[in-house]
Amino acid sequence: MRKLTILVMLLWGALNVGNAQVGIGLRGGVNFASQSIKGNILDSFSVENVTGISAGLFVELPVSEFFSIQPEFQFIQRGKKAISTLQEGGLTFKRTTIEQFSYLEIPILAKVKFGNDLIKGNFFAGPNFGYALSGTEQETTFINGGEIVEENEFDFENSHYKRLDVGALAGLGVSVHFEGFSVFADYRYLFGLADLDDGDGEVTVKNRGSNLGVGIAFEIGY
């Protein structure tokens, strides 16, 4: 009950800030995704970034002149590039696996702002909830000077990969304000908290990602 009361007070405050402007906007970006993989893995195993896109909508609810709550709804591509060296049948070969997943995510961000009426800086943080809609897996094996490429839809049903993800999102940005709208750019980093591997517990897999984005927000007074 206490938590509910606090939430109601925050929302009530957001709706009663003098000269407050609710922001409704669009944001798009480039995502550099990776995963933290720990546990029983090969010594030769390494992980690199894969590049994807992100696009979404948000509402910025002011609590005060310099603090707001910003829920978002976005599509984003996450995943990883895994590189390993294997030995099989007396042969040594290199294998590269690129996994890319399409997520729907809901970040709920607390934003602190500073600056003047024209240019404002901000930093923000909050929880991030995601659900993997689909995925692809491309496996390239380099052997005897040639390569073998296989690409398939990711099989969630027969893998140990969980669709649901929970993480922490934080970042900073800058916005330029005009009459009735603003444009902005920001950087954000996702630190996955949920273990995405649903196997025997010998390996943990968590999402990571850096994102550069730009967007526009329309200010609605009341």
pLDDT tens sequence across 130-159: 999 999 999 988 877 778 888 999 988 888
Query: Residue 146's pLDDT is what?
Result: 77
Which two structure tokens, joined as six digits, stand for 63? Answer: 């609590």
Contact 126, 107 (CB under 8 A): yes
pLDDT bucket at 221, cuts 50 / 70 / 90 = confident
Question: What gap in Å lies between CA 21 and CA 173, rounded to an integer?
Answer: 18
> Does residue 210 carry a pLDDT above 90?
yes
pTM of the model: 0.85
Residue that wins the pLDDT comparison between 208 and 94: 208
From residue 141, how far is each of 87, 92, 105, 182, 185 by CA, in Å?
12, 11, 33, 48, 39
CATH of domain 2-221: 2.40.160.20
Contact 74, 28 (CB under 8 A): no
Contact 136, 147 (CB under 8 A): no
- Angle value at C-alpha 147, between 78 and 205, nearest 5 degrees: 25
- As a whole number, mean pLDDT of residues 86-106 equals 86
Query: Residue 1's pLDDT is what?
Result: 56
pLDDT bucket at 84, cuts 50 / 70 / 90 = confident
